[in-house]
Chains A and B, each alone.
Chain A
Amino acid sequence: MDSSQSSSQSSSQANPQATTSAAAKPLYTRKDFLSSTDPRWCAGCGTYATFNGITRTFLNSGIEKEKFAVIAGIGCSSRLPYYSNTYGFHTIHGRAPTVAMGLKMINPDLNVWVITGDGDGLSIGGNHFIHLMRRNPNIKMVLFNNQIYGLTKGQASPTSPLGSKTKSSPYGSVDRPMHPLTMALGAGATFVARVPDNDNELMFQVMQAAMAHQGIALIEVLINCVIFNDGIFDPLTNKETRPDKTVLLEAGKPLIYGQQKNKGIIMKNDRPLSVTIGENGITEKDLILHDPQNPNSGYSFMLAEMGDQELPVPYGILRQIQEPVHKPHASKGTKEQLQNTLKGSGAWEVGSDGNIKSLER
């Protein structure tokens, strides 16, 4: 039972990196952000590193831990709130954004983080995902994308590639996958980023930027599911192939990538094209300069769709713009106001003499 499992902290959770590069003076050590319940993810799962990234970001913010609330749906990643020693809510499948909205609206000073996965956030919770993005509340969402249903033991998810062989698609998935970041952009997301689960520093940087952003922030983390989808992101994450398969986005810098740092992206005929610097007269100046604040979302969509065929998968912050942040009404009126409200617009008064006087407004 539970109490017996909550006795000790596993050593894998006490990451010594946690207190490095702290901008603000931390009130705590990282251990303070770990609840008495030890994580129960599979050994080697990318969720551990992502959980580290989240608590490290909390720690480095210098904000008191009671001012964080982690809200999750259902799925492997959505067990995360139980392990974070903040306020937390493990809600129901796909619906974490709704609970997060209500909580944030009534408690605007709270730092609300939503934890979801590709099945939870994009399939059963697709509607809430869209509306969380479009409303632009100051909420952060981490989407653990492992392209599979893990907790139900291996069915195709909305991000599984066409032809994926899973328990529910033994002859290959016939459903086209969706791209979480283009979907978020389509819904008007103001902060959109992607990181792999094995780059702690990049994850930390992006999460800090997300936290500083005013408005909704979506971070897609490519998670390796060691049990049901092992190695699916290997080309994008291992040291040998990652440089040629991905490009790191840095604001104001050209889109350069490759083992030799000699590849780049240019625009030709309104399409992104991978080129080699030094060939065909191409220089660094011809490359696209990354501008996450580009008001034209077409640029962001272009980045989000990269990764097919010849083009590398972008890591980092694809888009970060300022838009009005969701601001609910305060509902802090006085008793006197309410007493007046109860009368409505067409009240009348019966006097002690029985005479009636209209109070119509």
Chain B
Amino acid sequence: MLQNDEQSHSNNTAIKNNISSIVTKSSVVRLAGDSGDGMQLVGDMFTNTCALDGDFFATLPDYPSEIRAPAGTLFGVSGFQVCAGKDPILTPGDYYDTLIAMNPAALKVNLPQVKPNGFVIVNEDAFIARNWEKATYTSNPLEQTESFSKVQLVKIKMTENTKLLLAELGLSNREAERSKNFYAMGVLLWLYNKSTLATQKWIQKKFASKPEILKANLLALDGGYNYGPTYGNIKHRWIFSDTVTKKVPGTYRNISGNQAIAMGLMAAAQRANLRLFLGSYPITPATDIMHELAKYPDQATILQAEDEIAGIGSAIGAAFGGALAVTTTSGPGFSLKSEFMNLAVMTELPLVIVDVQRAGPSTGIPTKTEQSDLLQALFGRHGESPLVVMASSSPKDCFDCTIEASRIALKYMTPVVLLSEGYLGNGSEVWKVPDLDSLPSFPAQFAKDPVTYQPYKRDPQTLARPWAIPGTPGLEHRLGGLEKLDGPGTVSQDGLNHERMTYLRAEKVARVAQDIPALEIHGEASADLLVLGWGGTEGAIKQAVTNLNQSGHKVASTHLRYLNPLPKDLESTLKKYKKVLIPELNSGQLWFKIRGEYLIQADKLSKVQGQPFLISEIENKILSLLGER
């Protein structure tokens, strides 16, 4: 029984210390089951436990778009992947060291990705005929031993064992069965030499008002930890090697890309000394940004708009009114916002448009990731419509990128599209919480002087027009979608003025390049091949380049945060290398842009399977370009 946390923890480590532990630098865990099996929760708990052990990690929730898909089906399998270890982790990993499959469908979907000699831990109770038939097996897959010849199959009766553990609580069968995810959690924590303490605390807090369920979950967790491995006959455990990378003292947290964008927006508003306004409409996988901001009414004014168009329209109204104005969306909503994006281009108001990309076109695969909105962000509006396009490269980079997008929008009085991805939005990693005072400071400047004010009189350096907000005496002016006279900003239909304004708008956006830092080259300095990436592929690219450098290959990589304008040193950088490879989760959109812009030869690596790149996929492509595959 669990009398106090510390004691029970020391007890249960004592029970199992006769089984050997294998030291590893990092490990990939994949948890899979039905949407209702609670695998996302187990994943979160495991990640938190790793965090408190000082581990680095990267996570990948991977779930279907149905809320509770029919139980046991292949399309209903919900997964959570985490790669953890003592050194910085760049991706959630390619292949699994440990798979926990709660039913036959979860096994079928995930078994091919288990590493040789990896653990395949199954809930044996779920392998009844009805379930394996649903997973389109023709017989019980656990009996097909040849399927498991290269892995360590661990069969545990999780449902029955949980029920036995809870027998005295007098719960119904259904209620008792619900605790089986904590039993699985116990097994997993034991397998990785992790404490159950954080999970216990979470259960105690979460179920405080339901003492029976609380007790049941604690018993299941403890039982899984103490006895599960025995029943499953597990031969060894994992333990992470001692840390090489020392963590800088400070406050850390686990943060997803969507949370990081929300935090970045609040921080940017604070650094700009502005109120924050979000106009948004629910859409997967971007909605969590709105959810996160809605928790902090002291920091964000939110309109859950009637549609995507109203989301950006209200943001433009708020920008006119002097707020740091933002709209958030994903592909289909991004399309709907196009006309209003042009109004922001024409009226030259600061606006941040976040597009958390998903597999398209149309509704596509809403919960799966892609990078296929780049060309739309660059060109997908009527007329000559230049705006700034940026992309974040990791969950925590979403924070910094959001601040930078806001800073650019305010400095240049322009809409900025910030491209994120479902992979970044839902994925998470360790983030060192910054001190607000350490972030860039860019207090907004409002026009005040009626004598000198003209709506389109531009700053000579940035070409930004002045920002005069309603309520300011003497600066009454009219904005609108009609072309305006350079300077006074009255309506003008003069062709020459229109041409001048067209070039001014383009030049203003082009001048953002003066704010872009020099490209950073990762990897071998004298490389033959440069990998050019953008967005969420950075982790996989960097890891692939690091791995190949270690095996003596001359490759390097660089990553674009700014897609429009492009960095000034990009052309000269690309021309230094014999070969350039551009991997993207689309059919070659940056590749198309780069070739058109610089007339250079480049190769592409495309993937549109709704999944991020595996490190090995990038390695293999590089090797084949180097003539080694």
Contact = CB atoms under 8 A, between A and B. Distances in A.
A329 interface: yes
B479 A89 contact: yes
Contacts of A23: none
A64 B470 CA distance: 11
A335 B303 contact: no
A331 B249 contact: no
Interface in B298-324: 298-303, 305-307, 309-310, 312-323
Contacts of A90: 478-482
B167 interface: no
A349 B310 contact: no
Contacts of A329: 297-298, 300-302
Nearest to B264: A342
Interface in A77-95: 81-82, 84-92, 95
Given A99-B320, A344-B259, A3 B340 contact: no
B250 A350 contact: yes
A135 B336 CA distance: 22
A352 B477 CA distance: 56
A218 B51 CA distance: 56
Contacts of B51: 346, 348
A99 B316 contact: yes
A124 to B, nearest CB: 10
Interface string A100-125: 11111111011000000000000000
A314 B309 CA distance: 35
Interface string A343-361: 1101111111010101110
A92 B317 CA distance: 12
A241 B254 CA distance: 74
Given A339-B435, A356-B54, A66 B298 contact: no
Interface in A305-361: 328-335, 337-339, 341-344, 346-352, 354, 356, 358-360
B230 to A, nearest CB: 30
Interface string A157-188: 00000000000000000000000000000000
Nearest to B325: A102
Contacts of A356: 52-54
Contact of B321 (A107, A332, A351): A107
Contacts of B259: 344
B314 A348 contact: no
A33 B249 CA distance: 61
A205 interface: no
B433 interface: yes
B339 A92 contact: yes
A341 B298 CA distance: 10
B247 interface: yes
Contacts of A84: 478
Q: Is the interface of B mostly helix, strand, loop or mixed?
A: mixed
B472 interface: yes
A348 B479 CA distance: 48
A89 B254 contact: no
A338 B470 contact: no
Contacts of A127: 306-307, 310
B275 A106 contact: yes
A351 B252 CA distance: 11
B493 A1 contact: yes
Interface string B404-424: 000000000000000000000
B561 to A, nearest CB: 22
A141 to B, nearest CB: 14
B470 to A, nearest CB: 4
Given A66-B474, A99-B320, A127-B307, A350 B247 contact: yes
A331 B317 contact: no
A109 to B, nearest CB: 7
Given A1-B485, A103-B470, A344-B255, A128 B433 contact: no
B149 to A, nearest CB: 41
B19 to A, nearest CB: 26
Contact of A102 (B253, B267, B316, B347): B316
A340 to B, nearest CB: 10
Contacts of A348: 51-52, 251-253
Contacts of B313: 91-92, 95, 97-99, 101-102, 128
A82 B477 CA distance: 8
A89 B478 contact: yes
B48 interface: yes
Interface residues of A, number: 70
A69 interface: yes
Given A106-B275, A358-B198, A91 B480 contact: yes
Contacts of A131: 305-306, 310
Contact of B270 (A37, A87, A335): A335
A344 B256 CA distance: 11
Contacts of B343: 91-92
Interface string B324-342: 0100000000000001100
B297 A330 contact: yes
A2 interface: yes
B318 A349 contact: no
Contacts of B433: 342-343, 347
B320 to A, nearest CB: 6
Contacts of B321: 102-103, 106-107, 110
B317 A349 contact: no
A56 B443 CA distance: 38
A253 to B, nearest CB: 38
A67 B263 CA distance: 33
Contact of B298 (A87, A331, A354): A331
B288 to A, nearest CB: 13
The residue among A100, A329, A331 with the most chain B CB atoms within 10 A of its own CB is A331
A347 B473 contact: no
A358 B306 contact: no
Contacts of A359: 251
Contacts of B305: 98, 131
B445 interface: no
Contacts of A37: 490-491
B187 interface: no
B398 to A, nearest CB: 13
Contacts of A360: 201
Contacts of B253: 343-344, 346-348
B476 A352 contact: no
Given A65-B476, A344-B253, 11 more contacts: A1-B493, A95-B309, A99-B313, A99-B320, A102-B314, A102-B317, A105-B314, A331-B275, A332-B298, A342-B263, A346-B253
6 contacts: A74-B481, A105-B303, A128-B313, A338-B299, A347-B433, A348-B252
